[in-house]
Structure 1
Amino acid sequence: MLLQYNNLMSTQCNLVKCLQVYGLMGSVFALLTFACLGDSTAVADSLAEKWLSPAPSAAKKNPVASTQNSIAAGQKIYSKTCVMCHGKTGDADGPAVIELNIHPAKLSNPQLDTEPDGALFWKITTGKKPMPAYGKRLSETDRWNLINYIRTIPKH
């Protein structure tokens, strides 16, 4: 069940409450204990941007070998389902970015290479607003093929 408070999602609500009650002791943000809701919300938004998958999901191994066929299948899926937001080259500059005022993950970021395949699989499966969940839209094999393709996007 999602809780909402002043148009904030439950995770943000929890972070705002935590920041207002406890602050971030021992840091430059300790003053947020007394900060107004707007300041606490800005910090909560920043912290909520860290999209972490559950440890068991992150540990899941890709059962689909990264072959030319798998990568080609993943590229086809990417072109149909991901390019509008993540862009042709994974630079988070697809046409929907400006139109919808969203900030998708930059798949060309070298940091993505540190993310386990299982974590990417979980994120693609469950989604996170505004990204839809693809667990029921794409087969497991399609999601793994998509990950194999994403791994080939040049990082810079």
Structure 2
Amino acid sequence: MNDAEVQTRARAIAVDEVFPHAPETIWKTLTTGALMSRWLGMVPSDFAPVPGSRFTYRTSPAGEWDGTIECEVLEAVPNRRFAYSWKGGHPGNAGYGSLLDTIVTFTLEAVEGGTRLQLVHSGFELPRNDTAYTNMSGGWRKVVPRIGAVTGEEEQ
């Protein structure tokens, strides 16, 4: 390995929550476009929970990046596992809006009294993605509990 390879580190964000809802109900919240927009705060365009389908999110642009997050569903095992790519940014940007090529994975497990939901957002290349890693670490810790809140609202 050369010095640049040694200095680049891949990191992942992990959030683990248990919700008092059945896996089927959490699954619906995770994989229904209108519900996704409520817990994530971004509306997915052209979303379908089918492997190979592509969709986008829009966020604040920065520098040469237009704010589009390109996604592709990689895995959709009903009530168990949902994964998609999350790509955005621009190679000319540093900090917010730097090139990002990551994977978001949700794993659901039935537990006594509900569902354990594990989120892993992996593939952050440090130091290039330091800003995204820091911002999204805090963001996912706020967003994941909202999945339970939206699910609870839908059950009423």
Larger fraction in strand: 2
Q: Rg larger in 1 or in 2? A: 1
What is the TM-score with the length of structure 2 in the denominator? 0.35
Higher relative contact order (CA 8 A, sep 6+): 2
Larger fraction in helix: 1
What is the TM-score with the length of structure 1 in the denominator? 0.35
